[in-house]
Amino acid sequence: MGSELNVRVEGMTCASCVRRVEKALSGIDGVRSAYVNLAAETACVVFQGDAAPLSLIQEAVKRAGYGVFPMEEGGKTPRVRKNEELAVLRRKLAVSAAFSLPLFVLAMVEMTGFSLPAALGLAHSPLRYAMIQLVLTVPVMIVGRAFYIIGFSKLFRADPNMDSLIAVGTSAAFVYSVWNSWLIYAGRGAMAMHLYYETVGVIITLILAGKYLESLSKGRACEAVERLMDLSPDTACVIRDGREVEVSLSELRVGDTLVVRPGQRVPVDGEVIEGSASVDESMLTGEPMPVEKGPRDTVTGATINQHGFFKLRATGIGKDTVLSRIIRTVEATQGSKAPIARIADVIAGYFVPVVIAIALVAALLWALAGASAPFVLKVFIAVLVIACPCALGLATPTAIMVGTGRGASLGIIIKGGETLEMAGRLDTIVFDKTGTITEGRPSLLDIVLKGGLTQDELLAVAAGAEQGSEHSLARAVVAQAKERGLAVPALTDFCALAGYGIEAKVGGREILIGSDRLMRERGVIAEPAREARRLEDEGKTLIYVAVEGKLAGLFGIADKPKPESKEAVFRLQALGIETVMLTGDNRRTAEAIARSVGIHRVLADVLPCDKAKKIRELQEGGKKVAMVGDGINDAPALAQADVGIAMGAGTDIAMESASVVLMRSNLLGALDLVFLSRATLRTIKQNLFWALAYNCVGIPIAAGLLAVFGGPSLNPMIAAGAMALSSVSVVSNALRLKSFKRAERIEARS
Give the end-to-end CA distance of the chain in Å, rounded to a whole number. Answer: 49
List phi, psi (to 5°) of 562. Answer: -65, 150
Active-site pick, 256, 269, 432, 672: 432
In this structure, are residues 559 and 520 in contact, taking their beta carbons and an 8 Å threshold? no
Strands 550-558 and 541-547: antiparallel
513 and 545 Cβ atoms separated by less than 8 Å: yes
The distance from CA 48 to its chain's CA centroid, rounded to whole angstroms, is 27
The Cα 541–Cα 557 span in angstroms is 5
Answer yes or no: are the C-beta atoms of 559 and 443 closer than 8 Å: yes
Distances (CA, A) of 232 to 236, 253, 278: 10, 16, 18
Q: Quote the CA–CA distance of 14 and 725 in Å, as a whole number.
A: 14
Contact 662, 646 (CB under 8 A): yes
Q: How many other C-beta atoms lie within 10 A of the C-beta of residue 591?
A: 18
- The yes-or-no answer on residue 432 being catalytic is yes
DSSP 436: I
Looking from the CA of 164 toward its CB, the CA atoms found within 13 Å total: 23
User: What would the DSSP string read from start to end of 95-110?
Assistant: HHHHHHHHHHHHHHTG
Task: Pick the closest to residue 399 from 351, 350, 336, 345 (CA basis).
Answer: 336
CA-based radius of gyration for the chain:
35
Separation between Cα atoms, residue 668 and residue 743, nearest integer Å = 7
Question: Among 276, 266, 250, which Cα is nearest to 301's?
Answer: 266
Give 263-295 as a DSSP string.
TPBP-SEEEEEEEEEEEE-HHHH---S-EEE-T
Nearest alpha-carbon partner for 732 in 673, 691, 672: 691
Which of 166, 160, 164, 148 lies closest to 64 in space, CA to CA? 160
How many alpha carbons fall within 13 Å on the CB side of residue 154? 28
Query: How many CA atoms, within 13 angstroms, populate the side-chain half-sphere of residue 351?
Result: 33
Catalytic positions: 432
